[in-house]
Amino acid sequence: MSSTTNLPYAPETWPIASAMIHRQNALPDGRTVQDQRPEEWAEALAEVAGAGFSHVDPTDSWIRIADLEPSRLAEFMDVARSLGLSIPAISTARRSVIDPEKGDEFLAYGHRLVDTAAKIGASAVSFGFFGPLSDAQKKALWFWTAPGVVNPDDPAVWKMAVERIRELGRHAGENGVEVALEMYEDTYLGTADSAVRFVTEVDLANVKLNCDLGNLVRLHRPVEGWQSMMAKLAPFAGYWHAKNYYRLEDETTGTVMSSPAPMEFGVINYRAAVRMALQAGFRSAFLLEHYGGDGLSVCAANRDYLRRILRATSVATA
């Protein structure tokens, strides 16, 4: 019997969330989204609902819901529910628990995030080891084409990373929350082999990998093929940031170029990748991201494409 039988959701109800990366935390009037009134939050979230989403990840590059006072968190959740939006998971960005200056602060934040996820009924939290954008990345059209923070080749720092994620993972497990570790270049999760080694060392059933292959295939350098990476990652797949890229390689010059693409048109074949994950036991939510242009509308089209894949998989295993 195929392991894709007995899936936890029907294709039409599988949690597929929109990220909020199309919105900035800093506002033109000097405030941040943290300071906004509920009706202002409603304006942003209504866009997501209007694009046909019933799930949203508040994405802490937009708002840090774990740092809202209890009454403000209640207001935020009231706004989301009033628009028919639920929160299946929460993603962190550039708040690494091994940051050389703020690692302790971000670890404490991670624990608050786990508590917040449990409080609001979110099933997963995504963490990564990527740092703040460098000056070169801030100036670039596509930030991934410029060098950024690199995790140190230091066994002591690797060990600390494992121990801190295990600490968060145990806390999350006590609350029925999954931890997903985001693939990202030049970090301890920057290749499939390194990511599998890392999650294996953490060795907790609720700590999985966020198989964000898009973060790797967009790099202007040689990378392992997505099929090979996915075969290694699938048994560990958890909450999944899904996006795609066009990738061009000139073998004669070594030139590599990339740009964002709708999921069905990019270099990653998500029909095959999703099937691989489901066959290996993937049962978590998806998050859709897209950089450039009208990212929300592209994510809405990606949602429909992903549901078509889930429907086809459901029929094939019925």
Q: Residues with Cβ < 8 Å from 284, sequence gap 6 or more?
A: 89, 123, 124, 178, 180, 208, 237, 238, 239, 240
pTM (two decimals): 0.95
Residue 102 CA: distances (Å) to CA of 109, 113, 132, 157? 10, 16, 11, 14
- Per-residue pLDDT tens digits of the chain, which is 318 residues long: 345 557 889 999 999 999 999 999 999 999 999 999 999 999 999 999 999 999 999 999 999 999 999 999 999 999 999 999 999 999 999 999 999 999 999 999 999 999 999 999 999 999 999 999 999 999 999 999 999 999 999 999 999 999 999 999 999 999 999 999 999 999 999 999 999 999 999 999 999 999 999 999 999 999 999 999 999 999 999 999 999 999 999 999 999 999 999 999 999 999 999 999 999 999 999 999 999 999 999 999 999 999 999 999 875 554
Please give the DSSP secondary-structure letter assigned to residue 27.
Answer: -
Contacts of residue 108, Cβ cutoff 8 Å, sequence gap at least 6: none
Give the span between the Cα atoms of 115 and 86, in whole angstroms. 17
Max Cα separation, the chain?
60
Residues facing 255 on adjacent strands: 250
Domain ranges for the chain, please list them.
Answer: 16-317
90 DSSP β-pair partners? 125
- 33, 65 Cβ separation under 8 angstroms: no
Class of domain 16-317 as given by CATH: alpha beta
Structure tokens at 50: 């209007």
Q: What is the DSSP letter of 261?
A: E
Distance CA(211)–CA(192), nearest Å, equals 9
- Measured between alpha carbons, how far is 34 from 168 in angstroms, rounded to an integer? 24
Partnered with residue 209 across adjacent β-strands are: 181, 237
- pLDDT confidence of residue 1: 35
Q: What is the structure's pLDDT at 7? A: 85
